[in-house]
């Protein structure tokens, strides 16, 4: 499933062709949404906002299009009248004069009024979006110390969208590596410096991935790994997907395990079970 950085890049691409433009025609593929077409057609788009793994397209009349791609949904942008030849089912078409934004295969789609946003079952439950400007390290640190989250293992917490929305499996491994922490540890086991570092890395690693198109490894390490001929799937991350390969910091072999049914990678030396004091 795409994670926060990927969703935000999709939102950026949609915003480029939709924001401040009038959507002359809206078409929905799902019969239950047909009556909403007339409400959105002819409206101007104000903003395309990612919230965790969901997207909100806000229209000037106060209505918002909510979409969550789950595993299968995919957005495509094309010149007006020239949709791509896909075998997927078209679920949403937002048609401006010169561009169409098309959502395929997703089924989690709704049209919401402003007051319904906060009561929406997914939106009401999720924590602050990890890439939102007001999700500061201080705010993340407070959540790590919050009694709702402090007793959870980091391996579970970092995938829990109610803690911080937008993190997923590759980010979990990478954030733990850059924080020097293990998935079994809990926020309550960490001292102030460790919590501060973790809060900073939750934001930093995710932002790096957003800026670079999916790279979480540090730029200088990526350059060196490329020079040594590491393929992209291996050089884009510090530990994720690199089991058996040497850690770029210490040379130890990266290990793979299952944490909460999903794969997790770590360096046994950079992420010691007990940290030296
Ligand atoms: Zn290491």
Dump pLDDT digits (tens) for 212-233: 999 999 999 999 999 999 888 8
CATH fold of the domain at 4-117: N-terminal domain of MutM-like DNA repair proteins (3.20.190)
Binning pLDDT at 50, 70 and 90, where does residue 252 land?
A: very high
**Interatomic CA distance for residues 18 and 276, integer angstroms:** 52
CA 248 to ligand 1 centroid distance, Å: 7
Q: From the CA of 269, how far away is ligand 1's center (Å)?
A: 5
Distance 177 CA to ligand 1 centre (A): 8
Q: What is the pLDDT of residue 276?
A: 47
Contact 129, 112 (CB under 8 A): no
Q: Which residues are catalytic?
A: 2-3, 53, 262
CA of 1 to the centre of ligand 1 (A): 27
Is the pTM higher than 0.85? The answer reads: yes
CB 103 within 8 A of CB 109: yes
Q: Which residues pair with 67 in a beta bridge?
A: 55, 109
CATH 3.40.50.2300 fits 137-266, yes or no: no
Centroid of ligand 1 to alpha carbon of 2 (angstroms):
27
User: What's the CA angle centered on 81, arms 66 and 19, to 5 degrees?
Assistant: 40
Listed by start position, the domains of the chain span: 4-117, 137-266
How far does the centroid of ligand 1 lie from the alpha carbon of residue 40, in Å?
Answer: 53
Residues 175 and 167 sit within 8 Å (Cβ to Cβ):
yes
276 or 51: whose pLDDT is higher?
A: 51
Task: State the average pLDDT over residues 36-51.
Answer: 97
Q: How high is the pLDDT of residue 275?
A: 52
- Write out pLDDT tens, residues 131-164: 999 999 999 999 999 999 999 999 999 999 999 9
Distance between CA atoms of residues 153 and 188, nearest Å: 9
What is the distance in A from the centroid of ligand 1 to the CA of 141?
25
Q: Please give the distance, rounded to the nearest whole angstrom, from the Cα atom of residue 221 to the centre of ligand 1.
A: 13
Please give the Cα distance from 28 to 39 (Å, whole number).
12
Residue among 147, 149, 161, 206 nearest 179 (CA) = 206
Question: Is pLDDT above 90 for 59?
Answer: yes
The C-alpha atoms of residue 166 and residue 122 are separated, in whole angstroms, by: 13
DSSP for 33-74 reads GGGGHHHHTTEEEEEEEEETTEEEEEETTSEEEEEE-TTT-E
**pLDDT 10s digits, 87-138:** 999 999 999 999 999 999 998 999 999 999 989 999 999 999 999 999 999 9
């Amino acid at each position: 499933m795409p994670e926060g950085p990927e969703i935000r890049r999709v939102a950026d691409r949609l915003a480029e062709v939709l924001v401040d433009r009038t959507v002359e025609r809206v078409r929905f593929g799902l019969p239950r949404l047909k009556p909403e077409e007339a409400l959105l057609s002819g409206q101007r788009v104000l903003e395309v906002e990612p919230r965790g793994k969901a997207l909100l397209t806000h229209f000037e009349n106060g209505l918002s299009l909510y979409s969550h791609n789950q595993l299968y949904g995919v957005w495509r942008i094309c010149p007006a009248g020239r949709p791509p030849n896909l075998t997927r089912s078209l679920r949403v078409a937002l048609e401006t004069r010169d561009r169409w934004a098309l959502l395929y295969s997703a089924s989690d789609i709704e049209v919401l009024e402003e007051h319904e946003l906060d009561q929406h079952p997914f939106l009401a439950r999720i924590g602050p979006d990890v890439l939102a400007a007001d999700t500061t390290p201080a705010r993340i640190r407070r959540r790590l110390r919050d009694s709702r989250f402090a007793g959870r293992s980091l391996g579970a917490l970092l995938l829990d969208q109610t803690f911080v929305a937008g993190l997923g499996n590759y980010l979990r491994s990478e954030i733990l590596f850059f924080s020097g922490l293990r998935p079994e540890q809990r926020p309550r086991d960490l001292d102030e410096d460790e919590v501060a570092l973790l809060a900073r890395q939750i934001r930093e690693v995710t932002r790096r991935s957003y800026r670079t198109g999916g790279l979480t490894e540090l730029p200088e390490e990526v350059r060196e790994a490329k020079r040594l001929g590491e393929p992209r799937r291996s050089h884009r991350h510090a530990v994720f997907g690199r089991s058996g390969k040497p850690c770029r910091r210490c040379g130890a072999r990266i290990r793979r395990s299952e944490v909460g049914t999903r794969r997790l990678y770590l360096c046994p030396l950079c992420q010691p079970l007990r940290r030296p004091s």
